[in-house]
Protein backbone atom coordinates (compact mmCIF):
# COMPACT_ATOMS: atom_id res chain seq x y z
CA UNK A 1 0.00 0.00 0.00
CA UNK A 2 1.44 3.38 -1.01
CA UNK A 3 1.13 6.50 1.12
CA UNK A 4 -1.24 7.94 -1.45
CA UNK A 5 -3.66 5.00 -1.38
CA UNK A 6 -3.52 4.99 2.44
CA UNK A 7 -4.44 8.68 2.58
CA UNK A 8 -7.22 8.19 0.05
CA UNK A 9 -8.56 5.23 2.01
CA UNK A 10 -8.25 7.12 5.30
CA UNK A 11 -10.15 10.11 3.96
CA UNK A 12 -12.80 7.94 2.36
CA UNK A 13 -13.31 5.99 5.57
CA UNK A 14 -13.47 8.99 7.88
CA UNK A 15 -14.62 11.97 5.85
CA UNK A 16 -16.60 10.98 2.77
CA UNK A 17 -20.10 12.31 2.15
CA UNK A 18 -22.69 9.65 2.83
CA UNK A 19 -26.43 9.08 3.32
CA UNK A 20 -27.70 10.22 6.74
CA UNK A 21 -29.82 7.22 7.79
CA UNK A 22 -27.38 5.51 10.14
CA UNK A 23 -26.75 8.63 12.20
CA UNK A 24 -30.46 9.48 12.23
CA UNK A 25 -31.41 6.00 13.45
CA UNK A 26 -28.73 6.22 16.13
CA UNK A 27 -29.99 9.68 17.17
CA UNK A 28 -33.51 8.31 17.62
CA UNK A 29 -32.36 5.22 19.54
CA UNK A 30 -29.91 7.06 21.77
CA UNK A 31 -32.19 10.06 22.38
CA UNK A 32 -35.09 7.71 23.21
CA UNK A 33 -32.88 5.70 25.53
CA UNK A 34 -31.71 8.83 27.37
CA UNK A 35 -35.31 10.04 27.64
CA UNK A 36 -36.17 6.77 29.37
CA UNK A 37 -32.97 6.74 31.46
CA UNK A 38 -33.61 10.23 32.81
CA UNK A 39 -37.41 10.09 32.63
CA UNK A 40 -37.59 7.36 35.27
CA UNK A 41 -35.82 9.77 37.62
CA UNK A 42 -38.79 12.17 37.50
CA UNK A 43 -40.21 11.03 40.87
CA UNK A 44 -36.76 11.52 42.44
CA UNK A 45 -35.96 15.02 41.16
CA UNK A 46 -36.37 16.75 44.57
CA UNK A 47 -34.19 14.19 46.36
CA UNK A 48 -31.52 13.87 43.68
CA UNK A 49 -31.16 17.43 42.47
CA UNK A 50 -32.58 19.94 44.96
CA UNK A 51 -31.89 21.22 48.46
CA UNK A 52 -34.71 18.93 49.65
CA UNK A 53 -32.44 15.89 49.26
CA UNK A 54 -28.98 15.09 50.57
CA UNK A 55 -26.97 16.40 47.66
CA UNK A 56 -23.19 16.47 47.92
CA UNK A 57 -21.73 18.24 44.85
CA UNK A 58 -18.27 17.22 43.70
CA UNK A 59 -16.93 20.76 44.06
CA UNK A 60 -17.84 23.61 46.42
CA UNK A 61 -18.87 26.04 43.68
CA UNK A 62 -21.85 28.46 43.80
CA UNK A 63 -23.09 27.00 40.51
CA UNK A 64 -23.25 23.56 42.08
CA UNK A 65 -25.18 24.62 45.18
CA UNK A 66 -28.34 22.44 45.17
CA UNK A 67 -31.21 24.65 43.92
CA UNK A 68 -34.66 25.01 45.44
CA UNK A 69 -37.17 22.32 44.50
CA UNK A 70 -39.12 24.42 41.94
CA UNK A 71 -35.88 25.46 40.23
CA UNK A 72 -34.69 21.84 40.19
CA UNK A 73 -37.95 20.84 38.51
CA UNK A 74 -37.67 23.58 35.88
CA UNK A 75 -34.06 22.64 35.09
CA UNK A 76 -34.92 18.97 34.83
CA UNK A 77 -37.88 19.60 32.53
CA UNK A 78 -35.69 21.74 30.26
CA UNK A 79 -33.22 18.86 30.20
CA UNK A 80 -35.94 16.34 29.27
CA UNK A 81 -37.20 18.79 26.65
CA UNK A 82 -33.75 18.94 25.07
CA UNK A 83 -33.63 15.14 24.94
CA UNK A 84 -37.08 15.05 23.34
CA UNK A 85 -35.97 17.57 20.69
CA UNK A 86 -32.87 15.51 20.00
CA UNK A 87 -34.93 12.34 19.61
CA UNK A 88 -37.48 13.82 17.21
CA UNK A 89 -34.76 15.66 15.33
CA UNK A 90 -35.45 19.35 15.55
CA UNK A 91 -32.52 21.63 16.41
CA UNK A 92 -30.62 18.46 17.35
CA UNK A 93 -27.21 20.12 17.70
CA UNK A 94 -28.52 22.72 20.15
CA UNK A 95 -30.56 20.02 21.91
CA UNK A 96 -27.55 17.71 22.20
CA UNK A 97 -25.40 20.61 23.44
CA UNK A 98 -27.97 21.56 26.07
CA UNK A 99 -28.36 17.92 27.09
CA UNK A 100 -24.57 17.63 27.33
CA UNK A 101 -24.37 20.66 29.65
CA UNK A 102 -27.18 19.32 31.83
CA UNK A 103 -25.61 15.86 31.94
CA UNK A 104 -22.35 17.44 33.08
CA UNK A 105 -24.23 19.51 35.65
CA UNK A 106 -26.07 16.49 37.07
CA UNK A 107 -22.85 14.50 37.12
CA UNK A 108 -21.04 17.17 39.13
CA UNK A 109 -24.07 17.77 41.34
CA UNK A 110 -25.01 14.22 42.18
CA UNK A 111 -24.04 11.42 39.82
CA UNK A 112 -20.30 11.60 40.50
CA UNK A 113 -21.16 9.37 43.48
CA UNK A 114 -22.36 6.74 41.02
CA UNK A 115 -19.33 7.35 38.77
CA UNK A 116 -19.97 4.85 36.01
CA UNK A 117 -18.52 4.07 32.59
CA UNK A 118 -21.81 4.53 30.81
CA UNK A 119 -22.38 8.10 32.01
CA UNK A 120 -18.97 9.05 30.59
CA UNK A 121 -19.84 7.26 27.36
CA UNK A 122 -23.16 9.15 27.17
CA UNK A 123 -21.32 12.46 27.68
CA UNK A 124 -18.97 11.59 24.82
CA UNK A 125 -21.86 10.64 22.53
CA UNK A 126 -23.72 13.86 23.33
CA UNK A 127 -20.53 15.82 22.57
CA UNK A 128 -20.27 14.17 19.15
CA UNK A 129 -23.98 14.74 18.43
CA UNK A 130 -23.58 18.41 19.39
CA UNK A 131 -21.43 18.83 16.30
CA UNK A 132 -23.26 16.39 14.03
CA UNK A 133 -25.97 16.87 11.39
CA UNK A 134 -28.03 14.02 12.79
CA UNK A 135 -31.35 15.50 11.59
CA UNK A 136 -30.88 15.09 7.82
CA UNK A 137 -33.48 12.37 7.62
CA UNK A 138 -36.12 10.72 9.86
CA UNK A 139 -36.58 14.01 11.66
CA UNK A 140 -39.11 16.72 12.29
CA UNK A 141 -36.61 19.11 10.74
CA UNK A 142 -36.82 17.32 7.39
CA UNK A 143 -40.59 17.09 7.63
CA UNK A 144 -40.80 20.86 8.07
CA UNK A 145 -38.13 21.60 5.49
CA UNK A 146 -38.91 19.09 2.74
CA UNK A 147 -42.36 17.83 3.62
CA UNK A 148 -41.29 14.25 4.37
CA UNK A 149 -39.75 12.47 7.32
CA UNK A 150 -37.90 10.30 4.84
CA UNK A 151 -36.37 13.12 2.80
CA UNK A 152 -32.60 12.86 3.05
CA UNK A 153 -29.57 15.10 2.61
CA UNK A 154 -25.99 13.80 2.52
CA UNK A 155 -23.79 14.28 5.57
CA UNK A 156 -20.20 13.51 6.52
CA UNK A 157 -19.53 10.00 7.82
CA UNK A 158 -17.14 11.39 10.46
CA UNK A 159 -19.48 11.42 13.51
CA UNK A 160 -20.65 7.90 12.72
CA UNK A 161 -17.05 6.72 12.56
CA UNK A 162 -16.11 8.48 15.80
CA UNK A 163 -19.01 6.87 17.66
CA UNK A 164 -18.29 3.43 16.19
CA UNK A 165 -14.61 3.82 17.11
CA UNK A 166 -15.48 4.73 20.68
CA UNK A 167 -17.68 1.67 21.07
CA UNK A 168 -14.84 -0.40 19.61
CA UNK A 169 -12.31 1.07 22.05
CA UNK A 170 -14.70 0.62 24.97
CA UNK A 171 -14.99 -3.08 24.16
CA UNK A 172 -11.24 -3.26 23.50
CA UNK A 173 -10.33 -1.86 26.92
CA UNK A 174 -13.04 -3.77 28.76
CA UNK A 175 -12.15 -7.08 27.12
CA UNK A 176 -8.40 -6.98 26.91
CA UNK A 177 -7.83 -5.74 30.46
CA UNK A 178 -9.62 -8.86 31.69
CA UNK A 179 -6.68 -10.88 30.38
CA UNK A 180 -4.54 -9.22 33.08
CA UNK A 181 -6.93 -8.26 35.89
CA UNK A 182 -6.35 -10.58 38.89
CA UNK A 183 -10.07 -10.78 39.68
CA UNK A 184 -10.88 -12.11 36.23
CA UNK A 185 -8.54 -15.11 36.26
CA UNK A 186 -11.22 -17.47 37.57
CA UNK A 187 -14.99 -17.83 37.53
CA UNK A 188 -15.28 -16.70 41.14
CA UNK A 189 -15.96 -13.09 40.07
CA UNK A 190 -19.14 -14.17 38.33
CA UNK A 191 -20.47 -16.02 41.37
CA UNK A 192 -19.59 -13.03 43.57
CA UNK A 193 -21.48 -10.77 41.18
CA UNK A 194 -24.57 -12.96 41.55
CA UNK A 195 -24.43 -12.40 45.33
CA UNK A 196 -23.53 -8.72 45.38
CA UNK A 197 -25.19 -5.33 45.28
CA UNK A 198 -26.02 -5.58 41.59
CA UNK A 199 -27.48 -9.07 41.63
CA UNK A 200 -31.12 -9.41 40.62
CA UNK A 201 -33.41 -12.10 42.10
CA UNK A 202 -32.52 -14.16 39.01
CA UNK A 203 -28.80 -13.69 39.76
CA UNK A 204 -29.28 -14.89 43.33
CA UNK A 205 -31.34 -17.82 42.04
CA UNK A 206 -28.44 -18.85 39.77
CA UNK A 207 -26.01 -18.54 42.70
CA UNK A 208 -28.27 -20.81 44.78
CA UNK A 209 -28.02 -23.54 42.14
CA UNK A 210 -24.61 -24.27 43.66
CA UNK A 211 -23.09 -24.90 40.24
CA UNK A 212 -19.50 -26.20 40.29
CA UNK A 213 -16.61 -23.71 40.05
CA UNK A 214 -15.79 -25.16 36.64
CA UNK A 215 -19.10 -23.81 35.30
CA UNK A 216 -18.21 -20.29 36.38
CA UNK A 217 -14.65 -20.72 35.07
CA UNK A 218 -16.08 -21.71 31.70
CA UNK A 219 -18.54 -18.79 31.67
CA UNK A 220 -15.79 -16.30 32.47
CA UNK A 221 -13.57 -17.87 29.79
CA UNK A 222 -16.40 -17.51 27.26
CA UNK A 223 -17.07 -13.91 28.34
CA UNK A 224 -13.41 -12.98 28.08
CA UNK A 225 -13.04 -14.64 24.68
CA UNK A 226 -16.12 -12.83 23.40
CA UNK A 227 -15.02 -9.47 24.81
CA UNK A 228 -11.52 -9.84 23.40
CA UNK A 229 -12.88 -10.58 19.92
CA UNK A 230 -15.89 -8.27 19.69
CA UNK A 231 -13.93 -5.04 18.97
CA UNK A 232 -12.76 -6.69 15.74
CA UNK A 233 -15.80 -8.85 15.03
CA UNK A 234 -18.15 -5.86 14.85
CA UNK A 235 -16.25 -4.62 11.77
CA UNK A 236 -15.95 -7.88 9.81
CA UNK A 237 -18.56 -8.06 7.05
CA UNK A 238 -17.25 -11.23 5.41
CA UNK A 239 -19.27 -14.41 6.05
CA UNK A 240 -21.75 -12.35 8.12
CA UNK A 241 -19.27 -12.53 11.00
CA UNK A 242 -20.38 -9.21 12.46
CA UNK A 243 -23.96 -10.52 12.73
CA UNK A 244 -22.71 -13.19 15.11
CA UNK A 245 -21.10 -10.48 17.20
CA UNK A 246 -24.23 -8.31 17.09
CA UNK A 247 -26.22 -11.29 18.36
CA UNK A 248 -23.51 -12.12 20.91
CA UNK A 249 -23.46 -8.50 22.11
CA UNK A 250 -27.25 -8.48 22.46
CA UNK A 251 -27.12 -11.72 24.46
CA UNK A 252 -24.19 -10.45 26.55
CA UNK A 253 -25.79 -7.11 27.50
CA UNK A 254 -29.23 -8.66 28.03
CA UNK A 255 -27.74 -11.27 30.37
CA UNK A 256 -25.97 -8.58 32.37
CA UNK A 257 -29.23 -6.64 32.63
CA UNK A 258 -31.19 -9.71 33.70
CA UNK A 259 -28.67 -11.18 36.14
CA UNK A 260 -26.94 -8.09 37.47
CA UNK A 261 -29.45 -5.32 36.86
CA UNK A 262 -26.84 -3.27 34.99
CA UNK A 263 -29.09 -2.31 32.09
CA UNK A 264 -27.55 0.93 30.87
CA UNK A 265 -25.28 -0.76 28.34
CA UNK A 266 -28.35 -2.11 26.53
CA UNK A 267 -28.12 1.10 24.49
CA UNK A 268 -25.11 -0.45 22.75
CA UNK A 269 -27.37 -2.99 21.02
CA UNK A 270 -29.16 -0.45 18.77
CA UNK A 271 -25.84 1.40 18.53
CA UNK A 272 -24.47 -1.51 16.47
CA UNK A 273 -26.17 0.22 13.53
CA UNK A 274 -23.10 2.49 13.56
CA UNK A 275 -21.03 -0.41 12.21
CA UNK A 276 -23.07 -0.58 9.00
CA UNK A 277 -21.99 1.29 5.90
CA UNK A 278 -24.39 4.24 5.43
CA UNK A 279 -24.83 3.48 1.73
CA UNK A 280 -26.03 -0.03 2.57
CA UNK A 281 -28.56 1.23 5.10
CA UNK A 282 -29.85 3.77 2.57
CA UNK A 283 -30.40 0.94 0.09
CA UNK A 284 -32.40 -0.92 2.72
CA UNK A 285 -34.57 2.17 3.19
CA UNK A 286 -35.17 2.49 -0.55
CA UNK A 287 -36.34 -1.12 -0.92
Partner 1 sequence: MITLFLKQWLLQTILLCYLTITGSALLYTLFHIRTPVPWTLTRFSYTMMAPYQGDTEINEDLVAFGEYADGSTAIIDLDRYIPGGKGERNVRKYLRSFRRTEDDLQVRKYTEFAQLLLERERKKDPHIRAITLNWHVWPRSPHGFDALRQPPHLKATFITRVR
Q: Contact residues for partner 1 (CB under 8 A)? A: 14-15, 41, 43-44, 47-48, 52-54, 56, 58, 112-118, 120-121, 124, 156, 158, 162, 165-166, 169-170, 172-174, 176-177, 180-184, 189, 192-199, 204, 207-208, 210, 260-262
Kindly tell me which of 147 and 212 has the beta carbon lying closer to partner 1: 212
**Least spacing, CB of residue 47 vs partner 1, in Å:** 5
**Least spacing, CB of residue 51 vs partner 1, in Å:** 9
State how far the Cα of 48 lies from the Cα of 46, in Å rounded to an integer: 6
**Least spacing, CB of residue 285 vs partner 1, in Å:** 26
Kindly tell me which of 122 and 245 has the beta carbon lying closer to partner 1: 122
Kindly tell me which of 119 and 142 has the beta carbon lying closer to partner 1: 119
**Least spacing, CB of residue 4 vs partner 1, in Å:** 16
Kindly tell me which of 25 and 189 has the beta carbon lying closer to partner 1: 189
Kindly tell me which of 123 and 143 has the beta carbon lying closer to partner 1: 123
Amino acid sequence: MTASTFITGWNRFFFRKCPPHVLALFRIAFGGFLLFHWGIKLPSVPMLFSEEGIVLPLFDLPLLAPPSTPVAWILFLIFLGSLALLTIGIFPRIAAGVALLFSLYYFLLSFHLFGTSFDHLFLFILLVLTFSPSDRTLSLAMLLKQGSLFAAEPITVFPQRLLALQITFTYLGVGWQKLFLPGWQSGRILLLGFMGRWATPLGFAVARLNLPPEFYDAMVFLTKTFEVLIPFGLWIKRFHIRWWFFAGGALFHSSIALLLGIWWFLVLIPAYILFFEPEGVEKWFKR
